[in-house]
Chains A and B, each alone.
Chain A
Amino acid sequence: MSINKLKYVLQHADNALIMGHRISEWCGHGPILEQDIALTNTALDHLGQARSLYQYAADLYNGLPDAEKADFFSSPVFAGLQTPVTEDTLAYLRDGWDFRNVLLAEQGNGDWAYTIARSFLYDNYTVLLYTALQQSNDERLAAIAEKSLKEALYHRKWSSEWVIRLGDGTEESHARMKEAMEERWSFAGEMFIGSEADKAMLAEGAGADLEALKSQWSNRVNEVLTEATLDLQPADAWMQTGGKDGNHSEHLGYILAEMQYMQRAYPGMEW
């Protein structure tokens, strides 16, 4: 039972961490100072959500019986671990196949339009997810959702306005936004395809109903795309999957190499 809860919390934690990391790559490279700061704030919001979720995941993991612990991660670091796991162990010492984030989160930043498209599809999902999780019978998850929702609402406002601004902007901005949305679209479906953990947690009353989320998500995404004068994307398009099961694109390895280098080279190092 708690194995699925741990997987579920990790899915959301990994999404937040990897999204936050990707967005943080814009720090110092934004097209204008004010938007550079806006994105950096957003990256830190995601990181804060990831921390809350990893702290919970660490407690769940530490509470497992030894036999279940031994089977849970296949990253070698966990085999010889003598001390309880912390949020840092989960972020810095797991290998890629133990990460459960959706493929959308790890996709490269591309240009501004690609970054906006990725955030737009994701932010529309997290607003609905956190809204639903406020009703979770798991109090800790509900509390994290309540706090995160306010941040997600602002992220969604920001990314939606940019989709409209670029889509309904100049000929060039429209073309770039259109291209980015078409390319990112095949990564959007995975958010709504239930993993084993998603299904188990829904049945238990602790998780969100992804089917219900999907129809609300489509409605709102289509509203914004229409206002942005962009084509609606096909609902039945073929979708990329695998992230929730630990099968990632090549991008994740590069992200982890950069993010985890310091802790792996100098274990326990602090600034």
Chain B
Amino acid sequence: MNNEWPLWEIFIRSKTGLDHKHVGSLHAVDAEMAIENARDVYTRRMEGVSIWAVESKYIHASNPDDAGELYDPANDKVYRHPTFYELPIELKHM
């Protein structure tokens, strides 16, 4: 029998940040405890003002073995960067 508590991924938004960033993982029996544990483990030094907790089993990840077919084809598609537009002279700070 597995007695380990479920694993949760924790995301924290800092006071100055706009997005929640992944900070690590921890164990908890339910979502409420996951948020409290995250508060105690990851916000002790005023790191955050908002916490998201997602049970790790609900995170789906890409397979590192597929990296070649997933990411390499973008290598020679420089035209996908918006660097080929002629900007009007009035626009000085782009």
* B41 close to A (CB within 8 Å): yes
Counted as pairs of residues, one from A and one from B, with CB atoms less than 8 Å apart, the total is 26
* B26 close to A (CB within 8 Å): yes
* A161 close to B (CB within 8 Å): yes
* A73 close to B (CB within 8 Å): no
Which of A31-39, A124-132, A234-242 interfaces with chain B?
Answer: A31-39
* A92 close to B (CB within 8 Å): no
- The answer to whether A161 and B32 touch (CB under 8 A), given A32-B27, A34-B27, A41-B44, is yes
> Contact: A34 with B40, CB < 8 Å?
yes
Interface majority SS on A: helix, strand, loop or mixed? helix
CA of A165 to CA of B36, assembled, Å: 14
Number of interface residues of B (CB under 8 A): 12
* A26 close to B (CB within 8 Å): no
Contact of A34 among B32, B37, B44 (CB under 8 A): B37
* B28 close to A (CB within 8 Å): yes
B-side contacts of A161, CB under 8 Å? 32-33, 36
- The answer to whether A38 and B37 touch (CB under 8 A), given A32-B5, A32-B27, is yes
* A78 close to B (CB within 8 Å): no
CA of A185 to CA of B5, assembled, Å: 31
Distance between A36 CB and nearest chain B CB, rounded to angstroms: 10
* A112 close to B (CB within 8 Å): no
Instruction: Identify the B interface with A (CB < 8 A).
Output: 5, 26-29, 32-33, 36-37, 40-41, 44
Instruction: Identify the A interface with B (CB < 8 A).
Output: 32-35, 37-38, 41, 157-158, 161, 165
In the A-B complex, the 6 residue pairs with the closest CB atoms? A34-B37, A38-B40, A37-B40, A34-B26, A41-B40, A37-B41
Q: Can you offer 20 A-B residue contacts whose CB atoms are under 8 A?
A: A32-B5, A33-B26, A33-B27, A34-B26, A34-B27, A34-B37, A34-B40, A35-B37, A37-B37, A37-B41, A37-B44, A38-B36, A38-B37, A41-B40, A41-B44, A158-B36, A161-B32, A161-B33, A161-B36, A165-B29
